[in-house]
């Protein structure tokens, strides 16, 4: 069952040009599209059909949902000029190439802002537009390594990458979108656009702000697995149940902890104090076998929905079916693809429900026509090899 876009989101009327890439750039553009902006994704003229992989998801590329796709050869003068005509009419632009690539293509900030002085030009990189590492290759894991975030996550003996959520999407895409929205707000008053230089390593460090503050207060150790929120505390972690599934607990505050003990039927005096790190290992060793006496669902029937702060550790098949997620509409199905719905929820101008991702280049002629190209100009672009 396909759920098509309905209603208008709060960013209706905003136009964003996205230069196709992978990871955080497309996700940031998706955030704009989900909130109602018109996002025009400029693809290579002939997007190569590769086998399904993390780099080529085809109809499963849900970060392209709700966008328009234009196939342009921007290495040709005709394609570059067509892109500039679209940019002239846009509010914002997103690109995720290495520093200097857009300049070499003739589509750098100076050129684009000269054409459109109110343009917000969003740049998504790993290391940023300058600095000693600016031109080096990298991935999420290397960007968060430099920020201090990777060192703080994982088992005591080894850091563990938390998927690519901290660098690509949290420190990258979310910070890019936030910076662009700030610049768009300012442009409404000043009439002037600007460049937003979003680096994943900068953003990952930014996400660590509270942890750096806690460490400065002497309440956080550089040793992994020894702190309140990194799995060190026995009352903040996941425990295996009798069926091999896991339950997560986090009763940090005293009143929640006391309720947790009550619900668990624990009256061992060894659990009376829970803020002493020197006792955490012993308390974990005592708590673990208790959780192994029942299944995950049995523990959830006892603990979930109470102030004991517990929840089942759901896999990606289970999460969309959980009653709370169903009630909140956290997931939807678009062309048989299960995917998260836009967040957060707005009361008056809710986000647009996702539409399927377009085929690469599917909207080329429609977009060019709507943005002022006549039939003769479109045919000239085709003859020049700038479009299919």
Q: Which residues pair with 197 in a beta bridge?
A: 123
Catalytic site includes residue 139? yes
Catalytic option among 168, 202, 230, 363: 168
Q: Which residues pair with 19 in a beta bridge?
A: 42
Asked if residues 259 and 304 have their Cβ atoms less than 8 Å apart, the reply is no
Alpha-carbon Rg for the chain, nearest whole angstrom, is 25
Catalytic site includes residue 168? yes
Two tokens at 234? 């026995």
- H/E element holding 323? helix 323-328
Two tokens at 43? 């693809």
Catalytic option among 139, 151, 258, 322: 139
Residue 224: CB partners within 8 Å, gap ≥ 6? 151, 152, 153, 154, 155, 156, 159, 230, 231
Q: Rounded to a whole number, what is the largest CA-CA distance in the chain?
A: 84
| Residue 141 backbone dihedrals phi, psi, to 5 degrees | -60, -35
Q: What is the C-alpha to C-alpha distance for residues 307 and 286, in angstroms, rounded to an integer?
A: 22
Two tokens at 140? 């999420």
* Dihedral sign for Cα atoms in the order 361, 362, 366, 367: negative
Q: Which candidate, 11, 22, 45, 204, places its Cα nearest to that of 120? A: 11
Two tokens at 259? 């309720």
Q: Do β-strands 246-249 and 310-312 pair in parallel, antiparallel, or remain unpaired?
A: antiparallel
Q: Which residues pair with 125 in a beta bridge?
A: 199
Asked if residues 229 and 210 have their Cβ atoms less than 8 Å apart, the reply is no
How many CA within 13 A on the CB side of residue 276? 8
Residues annotated catalytic, as ranges: 139, 168
């Amino acid at each position: 069952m396909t759920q098509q876009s309905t209603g208008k989101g709060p960013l209706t009327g905003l136009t964003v040009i996205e230069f196709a890439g992978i990871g955080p750039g497309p996700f940031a553009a998706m955030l704009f599209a989900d909130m109602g902006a018109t996002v025009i994704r400029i693809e290579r003229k002939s997007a190569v059909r590769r086998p399904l992989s993390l780099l080529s998801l085809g109809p499963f590329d849900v970060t392209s949902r709700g966008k328009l796709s234009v196939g342009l050869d921007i290495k040709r003068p005709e394609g570059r000029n067509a892109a500039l005509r679209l940019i002239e009419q846009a509010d914002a632009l997103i690109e995720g190439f290495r520093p200097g690539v857009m300049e070499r293509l003739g589509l750098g900030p100076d050129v684009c802002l000269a054409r459109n002085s109110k343009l917000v030009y969003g740049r998504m990189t790993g290391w940023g537009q300058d600095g000693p590492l600016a031109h080096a290759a990298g991935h999420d894991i290397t960007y968060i390594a430099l920020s201090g975030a990777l060192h703080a996550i994982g088992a005591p003996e080894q850091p563990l990458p938390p998927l690519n959520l901290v660098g690509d999407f949290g420190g990258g895409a979310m910070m890019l979108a936030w910076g662009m929205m700030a610049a768009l707000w300012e442009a409404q008053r000043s009439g002037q656009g600007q460049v937003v230089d979003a680096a994943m390593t900068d953003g990952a460090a930014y996400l660590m702000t509270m942890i750096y503050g806690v460490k400065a207060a002497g309440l956080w150790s550089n040793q992994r697995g020894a702190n309140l929120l990194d799995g060190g505390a026995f009352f903040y972690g996941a425990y295996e149940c009798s069926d091999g599934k896991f339950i997560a607990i986090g009763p940090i505050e005293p009143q929640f902890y006391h309720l947790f003990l009550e619900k668990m039927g624990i009256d061992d005096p060894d659990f009376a104090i829970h803020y002493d790190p020197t006792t955490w290992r012993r308390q974990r060793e005592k708590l673990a076998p208790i959780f192994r006496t029942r299944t995950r669902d049995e523990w959830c029937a006892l603990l979930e929905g109470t102030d004991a702060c517990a929840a089942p550790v759901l896999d990606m098949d289970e999460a969309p079916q959980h009653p709370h997620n169903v009630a909140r509409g956290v997931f939807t199905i678009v062309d048989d693809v299960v995917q998260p719905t836009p967040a957060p929820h707005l009361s008056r101008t809710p986000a647009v429900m996702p539409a399927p991702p377009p085929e690469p280049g599917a909207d080329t002629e429609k977009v060019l026509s709507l943005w002022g190209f006549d039939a003769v100009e479109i045919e000239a672009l085709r003859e020049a090899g700038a479009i299919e």
